[in-house]
């Protein structure tokens, strides 16, 4: 009897690869790898196209602080993978003979280039579409998986091999692996999983219209119809790329019609349905005045109380799809605020750390003019980090913003003609408090918006499925939960205890760990 194949979602696969990487990179007291290199099996990811295999490689590399070299093998020839042949002279038993060797593989060379450029001696070599290699390249790919070599050149120690391929039902040109190869790899079979992707989607700030649509049309998340002449498909990659074009088109005022949807969702019915959903999403956003409700401009206590009651009545009498859309519009508005606060929070912490370093270095300097040298050093350090790719895009962006603040502080000190380090640091501390005040304003805005969101949903729908959707949506959003864990939200606790008890329990545990530390950080920022 054939063993049942175990499948996992993309998040589980990500966790498994991280654990494997940690195991492979474990070292003993002498600095040698505990896990024998010869037993470090490559990981083979098998799953449908567009599921997110490449994306998780980038996330893993960033999270683990290792290098990443990614290749799609269908774009390569045997020469680029193996290297070019060259004739060298060798002496065997006193006789000179001509021997064929190969130059360094382009792929292996890219690994060494990455190590040289980034300073990261460990990493992941990711080979995509490995079972779609050409006929001349296929034997090389088998050798690569079995022996971790391209030609005569071995993948450096410390670099884990991850390969990915598509099952034959999605690509008729794939090649089956033999038993010898499969016995030397760890095969992870993947399947599309909407819940796992939705958690990722909240993190990546995928467009609210997409989240709203998929919440209603779960079976439209991933579709591939490859039987007929015309290939029809919808993938996770398609939804994420569509999200980016929608947000950017909206920013520049370009209309988004069904034609645009069809370029990313290449299944006609899904593209048409989502186009209708998107137009409704935009319409309801305007009709309900979601931003004004969140900010309290439209509220039961103000001169627009009658308008507020009108919105409540309109939502309460709406159909199921409209009610769900309203909840997602609220979640989208909240997510925007939480994302902005998270950025300001990280910027404040990073700036504070930098100013502490400046204060310490000023102890051995005579005057505040050293600030110019300090800023110059920070500018050079950032330039090196960017060149060596040391850090995620977000981390590097954060450092650029902190540097801009330092440069602004430096210019203000010059304009004030300050000389002593005591005067300079006192003035910079005042400027930093102004920087932190923006963060405090957004903090209060976030608290207010949470209260207003829960109040509006309770007024419209009571403690029904719409409230569950709001609580669940906040729970899935990491930045929302970070905000609530630290700064509280009585309404979230109240409704999660009643409607989604596991959410409340998780929150209480996290609060115990985080609140005290954050309070101390708040005090430091103010002082």
Domain membership of residue 1 (yes or no) is no
Determine the pLDDT at residue 276. 93
Determine the pLDDT at residue 143. 78
The three-state secondary structure class of 159 is: strand
344's tokens: 């300001």
What contacts 38, CB < 8 A, 6 or more positions away?
none
pLDDT bin (cut points 50, 70, 90) of residue 5 is low
Residue 158 domain boundaries: 7-191
Reported as half-sphere exposure (CB side, CA atoms, 13 A), residue 438 has a value of 13
Surface-to-core class of residue 477, CB atoms within 10 Å of its CB (0-12 exposed, 13-18 middle, 19+ buried): buried
Other Cβ atoms within 10 Å of 388 Cβ, number: 14
324's tokens: 């769900």
Determine the pLDDT at residue 517. 45
Rounded distance between C-alpha atoms, residue 513 and residue 516, angstroms: 7
* E strand or H helix at 177: none
* b/e 223-255 (16+ beta carbons within 10 angstroms → b): bbeeeeeeebbbbbbbbbebbebbeeeeeeeee
Task: Give the bridge partners for 99, in sequence order.
Answer: 88
Domain membership of residue 206 (yes or no) is no
Q: Do the beta carbons of residue 17 and residue 60 sit within 8 Å? A: yes
Which of 111-120, 140-149, 258-267 holds the top average pLDDT?
Answer: 258-267
Rounded distance between C-alpha atoms, residue 424 and residue 426, angstroms: 5
* E strand or H helix at 140: helix 138-147
Other Cβ atoms within 10 Å of 179 Cβ, number: 7
Query: Is the confidence at residue 93, as pLDDT, over 50?
Result: yes
pLDDT bin (cut points 50, 70, 90) of residue 140 is confident
Report the candidate in 485, 500, 483, 477 with the shortest Cα–Cα distance to residue 200.
477
Rounded distance between C-alpha atoms, residue 14 and residue 59, angstroms: 9
Q: Can you give the length of the chain in residues?
A: 527
Q: Do the beta carbons of residue 153 and residue 104 sit within 8 Å? A: yes
Determine the pLDDT at residue 526. 40
Determine the pLDDT at residue 219. 92
Determine the pLDDT at residue 38. 85
Final residue in a domain of this structure, among 139, 165, 191: 191
Report the candidate in 329, 340, 246 with the shortest Cα–Cα distance to residue 292.
329
pLDDT bin (cut points 50, 70, 90) of residue 506 is low
Domain membership of residue 264 (yes or no) is no
Number of domains into which the chain is organized: 2
Report the candidate in 342, 345, 332, 321 with the shortest Cα–Cα distance to residue 294.
332
Domain membership of residue 106 (yes or no) is yes
The three-state secondary structure class of 88 is: strand
**How far is C-alpha 271 from the geometric centre of its chain's CA atoms?**
25
Q: Do the beta carbons of residue 124 and residue 57 sit within 8 Å? A: yes
Q: What is the pTM of this model?
A: 0.78
Distances (CA, A) of 201 to 35, 133, 236, 428, 440: 35, 32, 10, 39, 27
Share of the chain above pLDDT 70, in %: 90
Domain membership of residue 242 (yes or no) is no
The three-state secondary structure class of 271 is: helix
Domain membership of residue 310 (yes or no) is no
The three-state secondary structure class of 69 is: strand
Rounded distance between C-alpha atoms, residue 471 and residue 479, angstroms: 14
Domain membership of residue 55 (yes or no) is yes
Final residue in a domain of this structure, among 138, 162, 191: 191
Distances (CA, A) of 173 to 131, 133, 231: 8, 9, 15
Which of 388-397, 448-457, 516-525 holds the top average pLDDT?
Answer: 448-457
Final residue in a domain of this structure, among 145, 164, 191: 191
Rounded distance between C-alpha atoms, residue 151 and residue 105, angstroms: 7
Domain membership of residue 359 (yes or no) is yes
Query: Is the confidence at residue 518, as pLDDT, over 70?
Result: no
pLDDT tens readout for residues 26-48: 999 998 999 988 889 999 999 88
Determine the pLDDT at residue 179. 84
Distances (CA, A) of 269 to 15, 208, 214: 35, 20, 14
Task: Give the bridge partners for 92, in sequence order.
Answer: 95
Query: Is the confidence at residue 389, as pLDDT, over 90?
Result: no
Reported as half-sphere exposure (CB side, CA atoms, 13 A), residue 14 has a value of 20
First to last CA, the chain: 70
Average pLDDT, the chain: 86
Determine the pLDDT at residue 519. 40
What is the C-alpha radius of gyration for the chain, rounded to an integer number of angstroms? Answer: 28
For residue 37, the domain's CATH number is: 3.40.50.300
């Amino acid at each position: 009897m054939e063993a049942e194949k175990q499948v996992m979602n993309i998040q589980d696969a990500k966790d498994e690869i991280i654990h494997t990487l940690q195991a492979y990179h474990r070292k003993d007291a002498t600095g040698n790898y505990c896990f024998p290199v010869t037993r470090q099996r490559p990981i083979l990811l098998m799953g449908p196209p567009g599921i997110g295999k490449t994306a998780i490689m980038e996330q893993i590399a960033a999270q683990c602080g290792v290098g990443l070299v990614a290749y799609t093998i269908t774009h390569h020839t045997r020469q680029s993978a193996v290297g070019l042949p060259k004739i060298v002279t060798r002496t065997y038993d006193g006789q000179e003979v001509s021997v064929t060797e190969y130059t360094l593989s382009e792929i292996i060379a890219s690994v060494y280039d990455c190590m040289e450029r980034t300073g990261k001696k460990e990493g992941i070599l990711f080979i995509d579409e490995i079972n779609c290699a050409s006929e001349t390249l296929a034997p090389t790919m088998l050798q690569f998986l079995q022996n971790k070599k391209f030609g005569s050149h071995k993948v450096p120690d410390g670099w884990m091999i991850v390969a990915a391929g598509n099952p034959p039902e999605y690509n008729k040109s794939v090649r089956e692996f033999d038993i010898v190869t499969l016995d030397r790899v760890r095969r992870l079979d993947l399947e599309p999983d909407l819940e796992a992707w939705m958690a990722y989607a909240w993190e990546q700030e995928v467009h609210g219209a997409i989240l709203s649509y998929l919440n209603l049309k779960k079976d439209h998340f991933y579709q591939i119809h490859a039987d007929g002449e015309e290939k029809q498909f919808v993938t996770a990659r398609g939804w994420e790329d569509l999200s980016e074009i929608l947000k950017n088109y909206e920013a520049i005022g370009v209309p988004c019609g069904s034609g645009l949807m069809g370029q990313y969702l290449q299944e006609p019915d899904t593209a048409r349905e989502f186009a209708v959903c998107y137009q409704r999403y935009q319409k309801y956003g305007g009709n309900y005045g979601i931003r004004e409700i969140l900010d309290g401009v439209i509220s039961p206590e103000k001169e627009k109380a009658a308008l507020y009651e009108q919105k409540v009545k309109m939502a309460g009498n709406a159909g199921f799809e409209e009610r769900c859309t309203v909840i997602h519009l609220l979640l989208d508005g909240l997510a925007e605020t939480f994302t902005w606060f998270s950025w300001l929070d990280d910027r404040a912490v990073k700036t504070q750390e930098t100013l502490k370093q400046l204060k310490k270095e000023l102890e051995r300097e005579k005057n505040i003019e050293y600030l110019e040298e300090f800023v110059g050093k920070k500018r050079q350090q950032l330039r090196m980090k960017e060149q060596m790719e040391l850090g995620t895009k977000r981390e590097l962006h954060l450092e650029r913003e902190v540097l801009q603040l330092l440069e602004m502080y430096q210019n203000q000190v010059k304009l004030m003609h300050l000389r002593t380090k005591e005067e300079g640091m006192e003035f910079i501390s005042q400027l930093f408090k102004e920087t932190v005040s923006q963060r405090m304003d957004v903090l209060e805005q976030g608290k207010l918006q949470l209260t207003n969101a829960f109040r509006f949903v309770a007024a419209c729908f009571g403690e029904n499925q719409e409230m569950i959707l709001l609580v669940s949506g906040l729970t899935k959003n990491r930045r929302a939960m970070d905000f609530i864990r630290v700064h509280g939200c009585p309404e979230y606790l109240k409704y999660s205890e009643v409607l989604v008890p596991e959410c409340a329990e998780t929150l209480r545990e996290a609060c115990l760990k985080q609140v005290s530390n954050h309070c101390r950080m708040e005090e430091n920022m103010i002082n």
